[in-house]
Chains A and B, each alone.
Chain A
């Protein structure tokens, strides 16, 4: 078997999610090649070559791939992927965009968002917002699979020495073009890979109050998330949403502040190792999944938390 992993990156650095996808590929077994498609992405290719268990890194460096347009990536991956038994990518917004297109071009099914590998053709994935866990067997000769990164411990980022090969396949479908982007600039750890995440919900009341969470996050080196209610209310931008249709996180510590715990939110964070809930409503469903619950007004508890953390950290 041979597996093609499509790297997730931003043209300058390799996203840790890719290392989790390589781990999923290892669980399937076989030679693992990584495709880095982007523009001026040489540094990413170098990083991918150092990752554990990678045999070969393919680099498709062209302006057509610079903004990861799904139409162009899909044509490239469908062409390169024909020689592989499996094509894997992280189930982030990039992978979710181009991978089904790859599957359709190859006339095969896709298995989305797997959290476990049972065998080379059988995978485990959550359905119904994680309220049910399905074991699915794929019959196609090429398995197109997206991987939920939190389901797999990343392979080591260092220690490998894969060869790097340039690929000169240029696919420009001419269907779409990049116009602009609004990137959330932040020095904080990436929500999806942070060891600690602190999230705010509707109880935060407004966007300014998220500054309280930022102060705690700075002390802990934590990423900041939000519930859908907080995003819908315009308190914070969409890329902070944790949940069924937002980001899936599984940090060592998840602190939910003013979040009631709708099932769609729990779907995005219930695999966290330790969950803390701070909410003034003691009936809030979030307490049913929390390891430590504090029934308190968050406007008192969060500043206190900051003070107490300063004492012990």
Chain B
């Protein structure tokens, strides 16, 4: 079966985020960018499905500026077969991203679409569910295990009370949680090979989707910082402070 994986270019998760002085956003100039960590998990899961013989083709798609091709190449180096880049310099919000991905799904007709549960920049946690709604597919969100079984997929989900397993009809959308797998690193030969793998570029207009953001960010501020407090000498002093100074016990 064919698996479609969506990946997003975001600020590297190790980079210290700084808000721009004019409060229009976060400073991304000369900042290291990388594949969103949850998307790496999505790519890894697809590659493992292929290694198990469950999947036979992995198509990776990314929406964003020209530089997003770096993240597509990374996914190709990890084992994806073919890339699709939907190129735009505009801000693409979750609903538009889902509409663009829906257009790709209609063209590619994958049996399984795997996305990260959220991107670490906007922290929205929306696109996978929206794509599932627009395509009329079932959704297995926050997955910690994915088992394809004939025309169904069993997805174990990380939920507030523990774990929950669902059975979904294929085709279906899965969004990844942290413990689904541990992504591998790309080897140098595979990075070289990835450069020769096919990568199609198209625009949102090619897919018949108009980018019309519904949400406007009015301002972005740094959070109110917490001041470091005091060091206590021992446990007795700690308990005394909690009882008599902070009055929380």
CB distance from A14 to the nearest CB of B (A): 14
What chain B residues lie within 8 Å of A70 (beta carbons)?
129, 132, 139, 141
What chain B residues lie within 8 Å of A311 (beta carbons)?
239
What chain A residues lie within 8 Å of B161 (beta carbons)?
10, 181, 183-184, 239
Chain B residue with minimal CB distance to A98? B129
Question: Is A164's beta carbon under 8 Å from chain B?
Answer: no
Question: Is B186's beta carbon under 8 Å from chain A?
Answer: no
Question: Is B40's beta carbon under 8 Å from chain A?
Answer: no
Give A130-163 as 1s and 0s: 1 = Cβ < 8 Å from B's Cβ atoms: 1111111111100000000000000000000000
Which one of B123, B157, B226 contacts A129 once the chains associate, using CB atoms below 8 Å?
A: B123
Question: Is B130's beta carbon under 8 Å from chain A?
Answer: yes
Question: Is A194's beta carbon under 8 Å from chain B?
Answer: no
The CA of A259 and the CA of B222, in the complex, are separated in Å by 24
What chain A residues lie within 8 Å of B248 (beta carbons)?
196, 252-253, 273-274
Contact at A96–B125, with CB atoms within 8 Å? Answer: yes
Stretch from B61-69, B103-111, B163-171, B200-208 at the A interface = B163-171
Question: Is B35's beta carbon under 8 Å from chain A?
Answer: no
Interface of B is mostly: mixed
Chain A residue with minimal CB distance to B161? A183
Question: Is A21's beta carbon under 8 Å from chain B?
Answer: no
CB distance from B207 to the nearest CB of A (A): 17
Contact at A175–B138, with CB atoms within 8 Å? Answer: yes
Chain A residue with minimal CB distance to B166? A176
User: Which residues of A, 267-313, contact B by the 8 Å Cβ criterion?
Assistant: 270, 273-276, 282, 287-296, 301, 304-305, 308-309, 311-313
Interface of A is mostly: mixed
Question: Is B228's beta carbon under 8 Å from chain A?
Answer: yes
Chain B residue with minimal CB distance to A128? B17
Bin chain A's interface residue count: 35 or more
User: Which residues of A, 54-98, contact B by the 8 Å Cβ criterion?
Assistant: 67, 69-71, 74, 92-94, 96-98
The CA of A149 and the CA of B121, in the complex, are separated in Å by 21
Contact at A136–B235, with CB atoms within 8 Å? Answer: no
Chain A residue with minimal CB distance to B135? A104
Q: Known: A100-B94, A126-B223, A232-B178. Contact between A292 and B123, CB under 8 A? A: no
What chain A residues lie within 8 Å of B179 (beta carbons)?
231-232, 238
Contact at B125–A100, with CB atoms within 8 Å? Answer: yes
Contact at A129–B120, with CB atoms within 8 Å? Answer: yes
Q: Known: A93-B158, A291-B229. Contact between A274 and B246, CB under 8 A? A: yes
Question: Is B117's beta carbon under 8 Å from chain A?
Answer: yes
What chain B residues lie within 8 Å of A265 (beta carbons)?
none
Contact at B218–A136, with CB atoms within 8 Å? Answer: yes
Question: Is B232's beta carbon under 8 Å from chain A?
Answer: yes
Question: Is B133's beta carbon under 8 Å from chain A?
Answer: yes
CB distance from B197 to the nearest CB of A (A): 31
Give B141-181 as 1s and 0s: 1 = Cβ < 8 Å from A's Cβ atoms: 11010000000001001111111111111001000011100
What chain B residues lie within 8 Å of A129 (beta carbons)?
17, 120, 123
What chain A residues lie within 8 Å of B246 (beta carbons)?
253, 274, 291-292
Contact at B133–A105, with CB atoms within 8 Å? Answer: yes
CB distance from B106 to the nearest CB of A (A): 15
**Chain B interface (Cβ < 8 Å from any Cβ of A):** 11, 13, 16-17, 19, 26, 93-95, 98, 117-118, 120-134, 136-142, 144, 154, 157-169, 172, 177-179, 213-223, 226, 228-232, 234-236, 238-239, 241-243, 246, 248-249
21 residue pairs of the A-B complex, CB under 8 angstroms, read A94-B159, A96-B142, A97-B139, A99-B129, A101-B139, A109-B93, A128-B26, A131-B26, A132-B220, A133-B223, A135-B217, A136-B218, A181-B159, A181-B163, A238-B177, A239-B162, A245-B177, A290-B229, A293-B229, A294-B232, A312-B249
**Chain A interface (Cβ < 8 Å from any Cβ of B):** 10, 67, 69-71, 74, 92-94, 96-105, 107-113, 122, 126-140, 173-184, 192, 196, 220, 228, 231-232, 237-239, 244-245, 247, 252-253, 264, 270, 273-276, 282, 287-296, 301, 304-305, 308-309, 311-313
